[in-house]
Amino acid sequence: MKPGRRLEACAAEVGRLRREIAADAHTRASVHAVKQWQAQRLTRTHRRLLDDPRYAAAARFFLDDLYGAKDFSRRDAELARLVPTMVRLLPDAALQTIADAIEMDALSERLDLALARELSEEDVARIDAASYADAYRRAGSRAEREHQLALIESIGHSLDRLVRRPMIGRLLKSMTKPAQLAGLSEMQDFLVRGFEAFRAIGGAFGFLQAIEARERAILQALYAGVRDGWDQADPPVTS
């Protein structure tokens, strides 16, 4: 599938999932609780990256913008409107990266919904590492979790390549004013923030290796039946 068509399909899927979640108050509250706990877990696990001046902006972009507990409904609505413009102006490499990000968004939303449905009301009210681990193994499949991790890796490496092409950065910035006038400022800000965060690293190999290694170790521990201690801090980053 061409990157533009894939981007359109992924944007439609994530919008559909978020509308499904928003339509039921209990489901909405349960998914939000799961997302909040996961955001805290990611912050705890990747504290060294967040505290490192070189990696902090990219780590915050990953944790908040690619996978966070924020309300993304406005960004979703803007994305649906911005897709035709992006398809017309951006090269396939950039479209592929954005499509990966939106596909990961949709996959994460689907897995979060499944996980929330596996938790009892009592567990949702006080999620901990053990109850989360049990629900994680019952929700979704290992293949889906592996694909989620593969998308994170792909997005990171693609961004690292794209920031070496100044033309793309200039193009994204040139779209700022038109995006504001068109009511698309949140999506535009998301794209520029990701580009700038990775450009500031000056080579993201160590950063991406640290995230991939720690998240893969967690995935393996969870599917091995580990219930406690799997969410601890990451090891030091090596460039």
Q: What distance in Å separates the CA atoms of residue 20 and residue 16, rounded to the nearest whole number?
A: 6
Count CB neighbours of 128 within 10 A: 12
User: In the prediction, which pLDDT does 111 show?
Assistant: 94
Residue 231 belongs to some domain of the structure: no
Q: Is the pLDDT of residue 136 over 90?
A: yes
Q: Is the pLDDT of residue 236 over 60?
A: no
Question: Which domain range does residue 98 map to?
Answer: 3-223
Residue 234 belongs to some domain of the structure: no
Q: Is the Cβ–Cβ distance between 42 and 69 less than 8 Å?
A: no
User: In the prediction, which pLDDT does 105 show?
Assistant: 85
**pLDDT tens digit sequence for 146-161:** 999 999 888 888 878 8
Residue 7 belongs to some domain of the structure: yes
Residue 237 belongs to some domain of the structure: no
**pLDDT tens digit sequence for 67-123:** 666 666 677 777 777 777 777 777 787 788 888 888 888 899 999 999 999 998 888
Q: Return the half-sphere exposure (C-beta side, CA atoms, 13 A cut-off) of residue 124.
A: 20
User: In the prediction, which pLDDT does 205 show?
Assistant: 83
Q: How many domains does the chain have?
A: 1
Query: Which residues, in sequence order, are CB contacts of 50 under 8 Å at separation 6+?
Result: 43, 56, 59, 60, 63
171's enclosing H/E stretch is helix 166-174
Q: Is the pLDDT of residue 179 over 80?
A: no
Residue 20 belongs to some domain of the structure: yes
Q: Return the half-sphere exposure (C-beta side, CA atoms, 13 A cut-off) of residue 227.
A: 6
Residue the block writes with tokens 């696990």: 45
**pLDDT tens digit sequence for 3-53:** 778 888 888 888 899 889 999 999 999 999 999 999 899 998 999 999 999
Residue 235 belongs to some domain of the structure: no
φ, ψ of residue 107 to 5 degrees: the values are -65, -45
